[in-house]
Amino acid sequence: MTDVQSLIGQWPPALDEAQVEALSTLATSWALSHGLLYLPVLSPQPPVPAAAIHAPISLFPSPFPRKLFLQAQRIQRTYNNLYSRIAMDTQFLDSVMGSEEGVGKVDEFTGQLWRGWKALRDDNAQPLQLGLFRSDYLLHSSEGKGLSLKQVEFNTISSSFGCLSQRAAAMHRYLQHSSQYFGVSEHLKPDNFPSNETTAGLAEGLAAAHKAYGKPKSFILFVVQGGERNVFDQRWLEYELLERHDIHVVRQSLDELAASASVDDKKVLHIALTSSSSIEISTVYFRAGYTPTDYPTAAHYQTRFLVERSAAIKCPSIPLQLAGGKKVQEVLTQPGVLDRFLDDTTRASASEMRASWMGMWGLDVAPDGLTADTAPGEPHGVRRARELAARLVLKPQREGGGNNVYKEAIPAFLDTLPPTERAAWIAMELIEPPAGAGNYLVRSGGGAAVRTEVVSELGIFGWSLFGGGKVEEEREVGWLLRTKGKDSNEGGVAAGFSVLDSVLLV
Ligand code: ADP
Ligand code: MG
Ligand code: MG
ipTM value, please give it: 0.99
Enter the pTM of the model.
0.96
Residue nearest to atom 22 of ligand 1 (CA): 430
Among 290, 490, 497, which is best to mutate for testing ligand 1, by the most ligand atoms less than 8 A from CB?
A: 490
To the nearest 10 degrees (0 to 180), the angle between helices 90-97 and 66-88 is 100
Angle at 88 between CA 83 and CA 94, to 5 degrees: 100
Q: What is the pLDDT of residue 495?
A: 40
For the CA of 433, the nearest atom of ligand 1: 25
Q: What is the pLDDT of residue 496?
A: 43
Positive or negative, the CA dihedral 413, 415, 416, 418 is: positive
Q: Which residues contact 113 (CB under 8 A, 6 or more apart)?
A: 104, 304, 318, 321, 322
CA distance 413 to 386: 10
pLDDT beneath 70, residues of the chain: 1, 366-376, 488-497
Half-sphere CA count of 10, side-chain side, radius 13 A:
12
- Are 273 and 279 in contact by the 8 Å Cβ rule? The answer is yes
Angle at 175 between CA 169 and CA 181, to 5 degrees: 125
Domains with residue ranges and CATH for the chain: 3-358+431-505 (no CATH), 359-430 (3.30.1490.50)
Q: Which residues contact 118 (CB under 8 A, 6 or more apart)?
A: 94, 98, 99
Among 142, 148, 153, 394, which is best to mutate for testing ligand 1, by the most ligand atoms less than 8 A from CB?
A: 153
Q: Comparing C-alpha atoms, which of 131, 137, 139, 138 is closest to residue 159?
A: 131
485 lines ligand 1 (CB under 6 A): no
358 lines ligand 1 (CB under 6 A): yes
Find residue 64's DSSP bridge partners: 505
Among 393, 457, 487, 500, which is best to mutate for testing ligand 1, by the most ligand atoms less than 8 A from CB?
A: 393
Q: Which residues contact 330 (CB under 8 A, 6 or more apart)?
A: 360, 361, 362, 426, 428
User: Catalytic residue numbers?
Assistant: 134, 153, 155, 160, 326, 395, 399-400, 482
How much distance in Å is there from the Cα of 8 to the middle of ligand 2?
23
394 lines ligand 1 (CB under 6 A): no
